[in-house]
Amino acid sequence: MDILSDMGPVFLGSRLKRLAERLQADAARVVNEAGLPVQPTHMPLLVALDREPATVGRLVEVVGTSQPGVTRGIGQLVELGLVQSERGEDQRRRLISLTPEGQAAMARAKHLAMPRIEAGVNSIFASLDNDFLGQVAKIESALDARSLYARAAGAVRPALTIREYAPELAQAFHDINAEWISTMFRLEETDVEVLRNPDTRIIAPGGVILFVEAEGLGIVGTCALQKTGPGAYELTKMGVRGTARGLKAGEFLLDAMIARARALQVETLYLLTNARCEAAIHLYEKLGFRHDADIMARYGARYERCDVAMRRATEPHEARDKDQ
């Protein structure tokens, strides 16, 4: 298994870095055999200075790496005695140039190292179908025009979609709810009965089970409308996997279930929960549920853990829809 390869474009930078490290490791061996006391990362700086003396700012431009990296590399080359830093005609700027030792090192590199490295790379290119360096240049130009960060920021967020209940999703309904209930409380007999028999306990009497699916993650949440009387439905067994936190999958799912209840012309839409479920209660309040003592008195005894009961008030436009 190769994670960087398997993940494709997501890990392109890491994969290219790994490729660069492999190439540079072998290039370092060639440079060492040529008797040069430098690393492959120093070579672009030496080549640039072999063409003409330059300031640090100019080296940053022609080499294309960060100023701290260039400054660090120049400092190392100064310690090796291969380059020198002197004040130029403009006394405010320092001009970097090769020393005689640096010129001799470049002569050895041109004769003993660079031709061998070029031949080795060209042998790899010979096995390719496309112009690899041309493709690299296009990637660099694209990043110059617009950074990866900017492109990622403008990308469409992974889609959340609603899935209807189907028998093959019964296990997901069970597992998602069993996970959160067991983590915070304990599975009560009524939980077990409903989770093991969603068709007979929820669907057959006229209820609904919906799922939310996140692109790349699959089914991450579920929620049910369980019919408990004429025009009365309990919003129940709502859970979202921990791996989907931050995606607003719960709000997306709850909003879809409220729309379904509206389509069914539900008269009493209520839920039973526990005060420990603070995040869920906040979401319920955000989407129109209000604490209701009458609901607690009528239905609260269904669960030992229930100490909060809420009912969603019918909105004015919903009432008008029912009358039409």
Q: Which two tokens stand for residue 288?
A: 């129109």
pLDDT (0 to 100) of residue 322: 47
* Full-model pTM: 0.60
Question: How would you classify the pairing of strands 268-273 and 218-229?
Answer: unpaired
Q: Dihedral of CA 128/134/138/141: which sign?
A: positive
* Amino acid code (one letter) for 106: M
Task: Give the per-residue pLDDT at 157.
Answer: 63
pLDDT of residue 314: 65
Beta bridge partners of 208: 225
Q: How far apart are alpha carbons 170 and 168 in whole angstroms?
A: 6
Angle at 253 between CA 249 and CA 259, to 5 degrees: 150
For residue 247 the two structure tokens come to 């995606």
Distance (Å, whole) CA 96 – CA 83: 7
H helix or E strand, kind and range, residue 95: strand 94-98
pLDDT on residue 150: 83
Domains of the chain plus CATH, in order, are 3-153 (1.10.10.10), 160-323 (3.40.630.30)
Strand order across the 208-214 sheet: 160-164, 208-214, 218-229, 232-240, 268-273, 308-312, 289-291
Low-confidence ranges of the chain (pLDDT < 50): 316-317, 319-324
Q: What is the pLDDT of residue 177?
A: 95
Instruction: Give one DSSP letter per residue of 219-286, joined into a string.
Output: EEEEEEEEEEETTEEEEEEEEE-GGGTTTTHHHHHHHHHHHHHHHTT-SEEEEEE-TT-HHHHHHHHH
Specify the pLDDT at position 317: 46
- Please tell me the distance from the alpha carbon of residue 79 to that of residue 140, in angstroms, as a whole number: 32
Contact criterion met (CB below 8 Å) for 163 and 169 = yes
As a whole number of angstroms, the distance between CA 112 and CA 110 comes to 6
**Residues whose CB falls within 8 Å of the CB of residue 4, separated by 6 or more in sequence, listed in order:** 11, 14, 15, 18
Q: State residue 315's pLDDT score.
A: 55
CA distance 273 to 309: 6
